[in-house]
Chains A and B, each alone.
Chain A
Amino acid sequence: MPARGRQAVLWGGFAFVLIVAPLVFQSGLALTALSQMGYMIIICLSYNLLLGQGGMLSFGHAVYTGLGAFCAVHALNHAGAEGLPLPVSLVPLVGGLGGAAVAAVLGWVSTRKAHVPFAMITMGVGELVFAMTPMFPGLFGGEGGISTNRVVGEPVFGITFGPQIQLYYLIATYCFACTALIFLFTATPLGRMLNAVRDNPERVAFVGCDPQTVRYIAFVIAGFFAGIGGGLFALNFELVQGSAVGGLTSASYLLYTYIGGTLLFFGPIIGAILSVLVGVLLSEFTKAWALYLGLAFMLIVMFAPGGLSAILMANLRVAASGKFCRLVKPGSALLAATPVWLAGVTSLVEMTYHRQIHAPLNPTFRHFGVLLDVSDGADWAGAAALAIVGGVLFECARRGFVRHWRMVQEEMHALGPGAGGAS
């Protein structure tokens, strides 16, 4: 399929999913989760402008999303109370401008260096901003934050943005537009220069471009999109609190963007979707979600530094080169062994957590439909046995799979760069 046609299909597919998703998942929680995915995609993409495209590891990105959110919420309050002629649909742009303005100021000091000094500066700036928010209640609303109402002004074509579904489509529009814009940016000369600065800043300087200027501009652009994401966040919850600029929020952007993958454009999209699934849904299923997240993050850093998107792309490449059938059998073995091992390990973890938290009231709980009793030694032994047996099976299957994978990769390599090659 020619590249242009493929691109059209991908973007069309993306738009289709955005439009159709709320019709498939209709509950109140699902709708708010989809809305959150929408703006998280924008935020993670903006973060990856820094991390993946520019090689700038930022520990304080929440400053820009959060301050953008505060700008948006103040603008919305003014639009409501004092009749500022600002339609609700343009409020995220106010957030974006706010984020860009803050990035213009703070970016000047942050981008003078790269790598670890940059990371440390962003961390210091993030801590400072977060610690200052309770001290200025006029701007940041103290503990309660600033709340607002997105139903202001006259309805346009009957749209008030009161119902969540209307807000979702607004977010989806912004999501599509911002994704497209960021994608276009990566293809511009400036975007390419940014990649060059990431890879070899010295050479860039020799070519005649100042790496610091490039980083600074990228920083401001990232701040703009981060602010848009923040503005949509403000519209979604109608509330912005100091935690929006905090270190934990910044850490979550880092974690999920990295897990999604920083090397490919759509990696952060996967990361954003995962962030909502884990943050909103997983924590309701298990108290051990933080442990799972930490372990998953460590495993990805160790074994798949390109993230989930890189894994996906590698598999797609194999499929495109026609060698996927070779991997079907070892892949199935791996897919069969993994749940066994995971079931055992998660049972142990869940039993440990349950014992600590709930056991006095009720020692039993359901795990994947199976009733487990933490006071029953047999259940512990069973889970441990399952984990060990599953672990052995998994390791065997994994080795087999890796062997076949390496063979396939060698063959593909021998065939030359023409073989395989998704976008």
Chain B
Amino acid sequence: MKRIRSLAAATLAATLSMGTGGAWAQAGETVRIAVIDPQSGPFANIGLNILHTLEFLAEREGGTHNPAGVKFEIVPFDNKMSGPESLNVLKAAIDQGIRYVVQGGGSGVAGALIDAINKHNERNPGKEVVYLNYAAVDPDLTNSKCSFYHFSFDANTAMKMEAMGSSIQDDKRVRKVYLLNQNYSHGQQVTRYAKEVLRRKAPHVEIVGEDLHPLGQVKDFSPYIAKIKASGADTVITGNFGPDLSLAFKAARDAGLDVAFYTYYAGAAGTPAAIGDAGLGKIRFVYPIYTNLASPEYQAVFKAFGQKFPNEAFVTSPAYNLFKALSHGMAKAKSTDPVKVARAMEGLSFRSFTGDVTMRASDHQLQQPLYMATWNKVDAKNPIDVEKTGNTWTLDRLFDSYVASTPTTCQMKRPA
């Protein structure tokens, strides 16, 4: 009798798992995701905002309505913005059996993680870890350092510069450009790409000067602004972020410098509050979304996040695409095993706020439209007040995916 019962149970279980094609294999499963970012110390501001964003999205995207039927659990790890420390917490995450790692605060850390994860995956088959990158935008990460186990969801420095170049190409007001950047990898890359893209897309534009200043050391930008003024530039391109950006804006306003600023990071958490009323109509930045994007899904997410976290805003849209890619990937692979999911995510297309986006298989860089937004006063069409300043980001231009798409030199080694 017992044997018949256990046989019946086994047959039932086998039938169930076969009959529904294994889609139930991971349903109800909780996928644990490690978030490695600075959550204490001087860079904690951005790290905590992204942690809240990911926790919020995990709650929203997981559950029965998830395409793969999985739930997500976010496990935070504080790396204090240090590469070696990130490797420590990566070990801790792997020890806890977590197979998915999310990070974006700093390309230095990103490079370290890719290296360490490659080595770990090579030395520990069956325990592979996949790394999803939401903001580290060094193009090397999908070129010379590309890895099968790394997926990039933000547009990288070169892609955003392509978008800027297209904008400048069509803007007759731009004649003379000044390049102001921080003297480290990112700033040096922005300077290099700006020269290359402008030469190609807008050869009529003259680059009248460039400056590279030490990162985070400049308190008084007035000498730089004076140089910009003396050069006769009408546009400044800068990859600066944080105080290096907001102080530059303030100095420009104080000196009455009437130029347009094309930036990468004017929209990052905390910077709009520091900008205040400076540079209205002049400051622009390029990013996969902008605050007043007319997408019902995005507006719903934005509102819900703002209600849950009244002092923060939903600014990191790549995180949304990250969850969507993961969910669709798991549904396609019918599994939560990282290697199978990684394979499924290659070439995957899915619907996002801004239309269809594709995870390019050759280098694992998400191909998506980009937006150029300008800092302006709140109005009827653009009602969202950014960081209680009374101002907001309004749409300047939309760039289709193909505009910002850049070729890759990635020679990706895929597992057998």
Contact with A along B113-146 (1 / 0, CB 8 A): 0011001000100000000000000101000010
Q: How far does the alpha carbon of A33 sit from the alpha carbon of B95 in the complex, in Å?
A: 13
> How far apart are the CA atoms of A239 and B90 in the complex, in Å?
14
Interfacial chain A residues near B55, Cβ < 8 Å? 361
When distances are taken between beta carbons in the complex, the residues of chain A under 8 Å from B52 are 360-361
Complex contacts, A287 vs chain B, CB 8 Å: 39-40, 78
State whether the Cβ of A32 lies closer than 8 Å to any Cβ in chain B: yes
> What does the 1/0 interface line of B183-206 toward A look like (CB < 8 Å)?
111101000000000000000000
Binds A, one of B80-88, B240-248, B281-289, B364-372: B80-88
Q: Does chain A have a CB within 8 A of B46?
A: no
User: Known contacts A287-B78, A360-B309: does B183 contact A135 (CB below 8 Å)?
Assistant: yes
Given the complex of chains A and B, what is the CA–CA distance between A11 and B174 in angstroms? 73
CB neighbors of B among A105-149 (8 A): 131, 134-135, 137, 142-145, 147, 149
A27 to chain B, nearest CB (A): 5
Q: How far is the CA of A163 from the CA of B77 in the complex (A)?
A: 24
In chain B between 85 and 126, which residues have their CB closer than 8 angstroms to a CB of chain A?
85, 87-89, 91-92, 94-95, 106-108, 111-112, 115-116, 119, 123
Binds B, one of A265-273, A277-285, A374-382: A277-285
Give the distance to chain B from A168, nearest Cβ to Cβ, in Å. 13
A145 and B108 form a contact (CB under 8 A): yes
CB contacts (< 8 Å) of B92 on chain A: these are 28-29, 280, 284
Pair B48/A357 contact, Cβ less than 8 Å: yes
Nearest A residue to B217 via CB reads A131
Q: Are B85 and A279 in contact (CB under 8 A)?
A: yes
> Given known contacts A290-B40, A290-B41, is B112 in contact with A241 (CB within 8 Å)?
yes
* Known A144-B111, A145-B83, A233-B84: A28·B89 in contact at CB below 8 Å: no
| Contact present for B106 and A239 (CB under 8 Å) | no
Instruction: Given A29-B88, A144-B112, A360-B308, answer yes or no on A137-B185 (Cβ-Cβ < 8 Å).
Output: yes
Which partner residue on chain B sits nearest A237 by CB separation? B84
Q: Does A89 contact B (CB under 8 A)?
A: no
1/0 per residue A237-260: CB within 8 Å of B?
111011110000000000000000
A279: B residues at CB distance < 8 A: 85
In contact, B140 and A144 (Cβ under 8 angstroms) = yes
Complex Cα distance, B85 from A144, in Å, reads: 14
Nearest chain B CB to A36's CB is how many angstroms away? Answer: 8
Set of chain B residues within 8 Å of A144, measured between Cβ atoms = 83, 107-108, 111-112, 138, 140, 145, 185
Is B214 an interface residue when CB atoms closer than 8 A count as contact? yes
Whether, in the assembled complex, A183 has its beta carbon less than 8 Å from a beta carbon of chain B, the answer is no
User: In the assembly, what is the distance between CA of A24 and CA of B84, in Å?
Assistant: 24
B120 to chain A, nearest CB (A): 10
Q: Judge whether A142 and B94 touch: CB under 8 Å.
A: no
Determine if A361 and B83 form an interchain contact, defined as CB atoms under 8 angstroms apart: no
Kindly supply a per-residue 1/0 record for chain A positions 31-44, scoring 1 wherever the CB is within 8 Å of any chain B CB and 0 otherwise.
Answer: 01100100000000
In the complex, the chain B residue whose C-beta lies closest to that of A286 is: B40
Q: Which residues of B contact A242 (CB under 8 A)?
A: 108
Q: Which residues of B sit under 8 angstroms from A239, Cβ to Cβ?
A: 83-84, 87, 112, 115-116
Total interface residues in chain B, CB < 8 Å: 47
A143 touches B112 (CB 8 A): no
Query: A residues 221-244 with Cβ under 8 Å of B?
Result: 233, 237-239, 241-244
Q: Please, which residue of chain B has its CB at the minimum distance from the CB of A33?
A: B88
Q: From A27, A241, A289, A290, give the contact of B83 (CB < 8 A).
A: A241
Chain B residues near A36 (CB-CB < 8 A): 88
- Asked if A143 contacts B107 (CB within 8 A), the reply is yes
A231, chain B: closest CB distance, angstroms: 14
Instruction: Closest B residue to A137 by CB, please name it.
Output: B185
Interface: A162 (CB within 8 A): yes
Q: What residues of chain A lie closer than 8 Å to B182, measured between beta carbons?
A: 134
Report chain B residues within 8 Å CB of A29.
Answer: 88, 91-92, 95
Q: For the complex, what is the distance from the CA of A142 to the CA of B217, rounded to whole Å?
A: 17
| Residues of A with C-beta under 8 A to B59 | 361
Of all chain B residues, the one with the shortest Cβ separation from A239 is: B112
Docked Cα-Cα span, A33 to B185, in Å, equals: 30
Q: Which of A134, A238, A243 contacts B115 (CB 8 A)?
A: A238
* A147 partner residues in chain B, CB cutoff 8 A: 111-112, 115
Per-residue interface assignment for chain A, residues 282 to 320, with 1 indicating a CB less than 8 Å from any chain B CB and 0 otherwise: 011001011000000000000000000000000000000
Complex-state Cα separation, A145 to B123, whole angstroms = 23
Considering only CB atoms, which chain A residue lies closest to B108 in the complex?
A: A143
User: Bound complex: CA of A27 vs CA of B115, how far in Å?
Assistant: 21
Residues of B within 8 A of A131 (CB): 214-215, 217
Say yes or no: A241-B85 contact (C-beta < 8 A), given A134-B183, A142-B188: no
Which of A33, A36, A360 has the most chain B CB atoms inside 10 A of its CB?
Answer: A360
Contacts of A290 in B (CB 8 A): 40-41
Q: Are A237 and B87 in contact (CB-based, < 8 A)? A: yes
Q: Provide the residues of chain B in CB contact with A162, threshold 8 Å.
A: 123
Question: CA separation between A280 and B85, bound complex, in Å?
Answer: 8
Closest chain A residue to B308, Cβ basis: A360
Q: How far is the CA of A137 from the CA of B186 in the complex (A)?
A: 11
Residues from 40 to 77 in B contacting A, C-beta threshold 8 Å:
40-41, 48, 52, 55-56, 59, 77
* Besides A28-B94, A145-B108, 4 other A-B contacts (C-beta < 8 A): A147-B115, A238-B119, A239-B84, A280-B88
A selection of 12 A-B contacts at a CB cut-off of 8 Å is A134-B215, A142-B188, A143-B108, A143-B184, A144-B140, A144-B145, A145-B112, A147-B112, A289-B40, A357-B39, A360-B309, A360-B310
Residue numbers of B with Cβ under 8 A of A are 39-41, 48, 52, 55-56, 59, 77-78, 80, 82-85, 87-89, 91-92, 94-95, 106-108, 111-112, 115-116, 119, 123, 138, 140, 145, 182-186, 188, 212, 214-215, 217, 308-310
List the 9 shortest-distance A-B pairs measured between CB atoms, nearest first: A134-B184, A142-B185, A144-B111, A143-B185, A143-B108, A241-B83, A237-B84, A29-B92, A28-B95
